[in-house]
């Protein structure tokens, strides 16, 4: 990630919004005037119950709340805010009177800061700036962690999900299909004679081929929720939810034909490639033996081997009865 990309990722688009909770209209008007002069967007609520509903609909990372309100008190409101999950960190500033114990109780209830209602505007401004710095830093940290998580689950060459991400998504789809008795298919895809490409033209050309192939496969899949990933080396995998064996074979032929007809630009000139595909399938019927994701991948792998053995550039949906022998085929 470049420095410019990092800066764009970690910059909040606007100043964080503030939710002001107070049953006193005069206090709301006064605090809102100060905050709006500083460029903040203010959302006002007259009760904690109304504020919780508003936060669910339109999250505000900074909350200013009074302690003494009808219904749910400010202390109970702070505890409720901390007990719930929100899209980001909620920085809570409690508006207090001149009682010292009130500030202590508010901090123990989950507040981040306290400010007296009769505090001068300069103090309110300074405390809001602190709140803004905290929620901005939290936002940046969360975005950075999300970006790193995406990076860890993405194949650097093809920008597809990598094997780790594939295993996680495949397991989730498998469990869902088993639970609801739905069909599920998985395709293993291998580039034919890929070793020859690397040997004759070098690995950079091989990388060009894999990148272009990933794009062709992605655009040729029929549905948005079909899962395409780089399985390893020159192998790709596709998970097809709600798809029986015949429909999976149709998808496999669609992918095979698209690749066969696509000229791939490389640094060594345009190249034509073909792929071989094997299919693993879980039917909607109840299977006597416990079926696992390993079983589906093994079936797809045996079908892929059969496609290679039969001459490549083909799709196989039914595994051969006899055990395979890699000595018979040069993959």
Residue 316 pairs in a beta bridge with: 278
Contact 281, 299 (CB under 8 A): yes
Pairing of strands 91-96, 113-116: parallel
Question: Position of tokens 């034509």?
Answer: 272
Main-chain phi, psi angles of 238, to 5 degrees: -130, 130
Residue 276: which residues within 8 A CB-CB, separation 6 or more?
Answer: 189, 190, 192, 304, 307, 308, 312, 313, 314, 315
Contact 274, 312 (CB under 8 A): yes
Lookup: tokens for 83: 């007990």
**CA atoms of 44 and 88, how far apart (whole Å):** 20
Residue 232: which residues within 8 A CB-CB, separation 6 or more?
Answer: 163
Lookup: tokens for 5: 């990309």
DSSP state of 283: -
Residue 148: which residues within 8 A CB-CB, separation 6 or more?
Answer: none
Please identify every residue annotated as catalytic: 234
Contact 131, 254 (CB under 8 A): no
Nearest CA to 250 out of 187, 202, 328 is that of 187
**CA atoms of 136 and 302, how far apart (whole Å):** 52
């Amino acid at each position: 990630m470049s420095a410019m990309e990092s800066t764009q990722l970690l910059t909040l688009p606007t100043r964080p919004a503030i939710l002001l909770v107070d049953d006193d209209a005069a206090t709301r008007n006064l605090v809102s005037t100060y905050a709006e002069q500083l460029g903040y967007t203010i959302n006002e609520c007259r009760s904690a119950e109304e504020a919780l509903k508003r936060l669910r609909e339109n999250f505000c990372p900074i909350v200013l709340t009074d302690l003494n309100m009808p219904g749910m008190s400010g202390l109970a409101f702070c505890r409720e805010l901390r007990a719930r999950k929100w899209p980001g960190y909620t920085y809570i500033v409690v508006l207090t009177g001149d009682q010292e114990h009130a500030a202590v109780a508010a901090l123990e209830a989950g507040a981040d800061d306290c400010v007296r209602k009769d505090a001068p505007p300069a103090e309110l401004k300074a405390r809001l700036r602190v709140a803004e710095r905290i929620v901005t830093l939290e936002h940046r940290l969360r975005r950075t962690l999300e970006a790193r998580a995406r990076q860890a689950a993405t194949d650097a060459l093809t920008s597809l999900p990598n094997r780790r991400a594939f295993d996680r998504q495949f397991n989730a789809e498998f469990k869902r299909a088993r639970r609801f008795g739905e069909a599920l298919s998985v395709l293993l895809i291998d580039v034919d004679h890929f070793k020859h490409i690397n040997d004759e033209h070098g690995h950079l050309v091989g990388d060009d081929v894999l990148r272009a192939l990933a794009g062709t496969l992605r655009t040729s899949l029929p549905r948005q929720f079909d899962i395409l990933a780089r399985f390893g080396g020159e192998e790709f995998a596709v998970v097809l939810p709600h798809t029986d064996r015949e429909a999976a074979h149709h998808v496999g032929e669609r992918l095979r034909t698209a690749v066969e007809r696509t000229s791939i630009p490389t640094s060594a000139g345009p190249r034509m490639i073909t792929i071989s595909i094997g299919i693993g399938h879980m039917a909607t019927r109840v299977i006597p033996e416990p079926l696992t994701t390993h079983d589906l991948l093994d079936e797809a792998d045996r079908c892929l081997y059969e496609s290679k053995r039969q001459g490549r550039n083909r799709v196989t949906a039914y595994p051969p009865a006899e055990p395979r022998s890699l000595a018979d085929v040069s993959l």
